[in-house]
Amino acid sequence: MNAAPDPTAPPEGGADQRQALRLLPIAAVIGVLGAIGAVAFLVVVERLQEAAFEHVPDAIGIDGDRWWWAGILLAIGATVVAIAQRLPGRTGSGPLTGFHFDTPLASVPSVLLAALGTLVFGVALGPEAPLIVVGSTIGLLVLRRQGPQAGKAGALLGGAAAIGAIFGNPFITAFMLLEFAAFGVVPAMLIPAILVGLGASYLVQIGIWQIPGVGTHELALPGLPAYDAIGLGDLLVGLAVAVVAAIVAVAVRRLGVGVDHARVRRPVPVLYLAAAVTVVVLLVADVGFGVPLDQILFSGQTGMPGLIAETAAGTVIVILIGKAIAYGMALGSGFRGGPIFPATFLGVGVAVLAALLVSSVSITPLVAAGIAASAAAMIKLPGTSALLGALLVGTVGAAVAPFAILGAIVGLVVRLAADRGAAGNDVAA
């Protein structure tokens, strides 16, 4: 018979746990530095973006909101990324491969140059992946002299602190890292240090005592009506929105994978092909339907309020198709950015379309379901996706939690089914 365990004995892995606890003070330092680095990167992107789309066109006397000017900028961005591909590291891993907290230092210049070429010139990707690179580089530099394992821990802490700067709420990043830990990707013993780093990062954003913060990114979408009573019809339409949003996200990802296969053989031509296809989409959307550029280009964060305010179903369909094509081409063509925010934009678009077609249902819960479904189908993190859907709706949606959860589960199921189907096709081939 086995002896009963001694409750006073240290747990297995106790030494590792003590090392993790010793990381807590340095985690706060890395959190502050990671947030500062992330904010600095975002400011650089925003200023250069304003110069490209506003100041330069004004200076030469042209309209910077026209499709052809955006086409010129997309070509410049593709050129910048092509140059970055010649540097050590060749711009690292793309947005189709998930989030990476282990970018080698030698690869960082090429990754960040490619990210600037992507984000500054309006390519339809988000800033979250480059921010992780900025933060993880800072964390690695802080701890790399303490050994490889400490360097990896520092990179993780810094990357988490940096991405927290774009989500505007530390709990989204915390939930994401908790899911990583549940999947075995992140050591669970580092969760306390991650939370400390996220808290320190958030203090940089909101300020402390008489020291002002650098500001937070507002997640809540404006213009949504209050929603505090769930109806059966709302749930049925919400389910339909979740299914459609997940299918759209999976289709976009499939487009990106196909483009990525072509990119492996001819990386530079595919970059310019993606830019050219996006220009054609802009031409059709702008000239044919009067769709603003920010509904097709960029990550989608600034375009969501305009999308929610749209009253014509036909225009929403054009926006959805245009954004899906631009996003799918960007995912696989060699541009460097994050996949989350464009996916949430598509989820909002599906919700807006459903609300226009079924006017008796409130748009608010549909937006929560659409965001969660599209995000889960793209990144396969259902908990993070559900939280993102609920928080983006904001305080007006006191009863949207079931819709966000429903959307996240539907999105994950659709993505897993699509992955199994793709694997079966590969085996058959």
**Integer Cα distance of 314 and 347 in angstroms:** 17
* The predicted structure's pLDDT at residue 364: 94
Q: Which of 100-104, 120-124, 325-329, 409-413 has the lowest mean pLDDT?
A: 100-104
Which tokens in the block code for residue 261? Answer: 């296969």
Coil, helix or strand at residue 101: coil
Residue 427 scores a pLDDT above 60: no
* The predicted structure's pLDDT at residue 84: 97
Residues 386-408: what's their mean pLDDT? Answer: 89
Residue 64 scores a pLDDT above 60: yes
In percent, the amount of the chain with pLDDT more than 90 equals 66
pLDDT (tens digit per residue) in 212-249 = 655 556 667 888 899 988 888 899 999 999 999 999 99
Angle at 177 between CA 109 and CA 20, to 5 degrees: 90
Task: Report the phi/psi class of residue 100: left, alpha or beta, with left for phi > 0 and alpha for psi in -120 to 50.
Answer: beta
Coil, helix or strand at residue 228: coil
pLDDT band at residue 11 using 50, 70 and 90 as cut-offs = very low
192: enclosing H helix or E strand: helix 191-206
pLDDT band at residue 22 using 50, 70 and 90 as cut-offs = confident
Which tokens in the block code for residue 424? Answer: 């079966």
- What rounded mean pLDDT belongs to the chain? 89
Q: Which of 417, 408, 346, 348 is nearest to 379 (CA)?
A: 408
CA 263 to chain centre: 22
Residues 368-397: what's their mean pLDDT? Answer: 91
Which tokens in the block code for residue 180? Answer: 């990583």
User: Is residue 297 a contact partner of residue 70, using CB atoms and an 8 Å limit?
Assistant: yes
User: Is residue 77 a contact partner of residue 279, using CB atoms and an 8 Å limit?
Assistant: no
What's phi and psi for 126, nearest 5 deg? Answer: -100, 175
- What pTM was computed for the model? 0.91
Q: Which of 8-17, 128-137, 287-296 has the lowest mean pLDDT?
A: 8-17
Greater confidence (218 vs 138) lies with 138
Greater confidence (107 vs 231) lies with 107
* The predicted structure's pLDDT at residue 425: 59
Greater confidence (428 vs 171) lies with 171
* The predicted structure's pLDDT at residue 222: 82
* The predicted structure's pLDDT at residue 1: 38
pLDDT (tens digit per residue) in 344-374 = 999 999 999 999 999 899 999 999 999 999 9
Residue 398 scores a pLDDT above 90: no
Greater confidence (205 vs 45) lies with 45
Burial (CB < 10 A; 0-12, 13-18, 19+), residue 106, is exposed
Residue 164 scores a pLDDT above 60: yes
pLDDT (tens digit per residue) in 284-318 = 999 999 999 999 999 988 889 999 999 999 999 99
**Integer Cα distance of 31 and 202 in angstroms:** 8
* The predicted structure's pLDDT at residue 276: 97
pLDDT band at residue 12 using 50, 70 and 90 as cut-offs = very low
* The predicted structure's pLDDT at residue 144: 82
User: Is residue 319 a contact partner of residue 338, using CB atoms and an 8 Å limit?
Assistant: no
Residue 60 scores a pLDDT above 80: yes
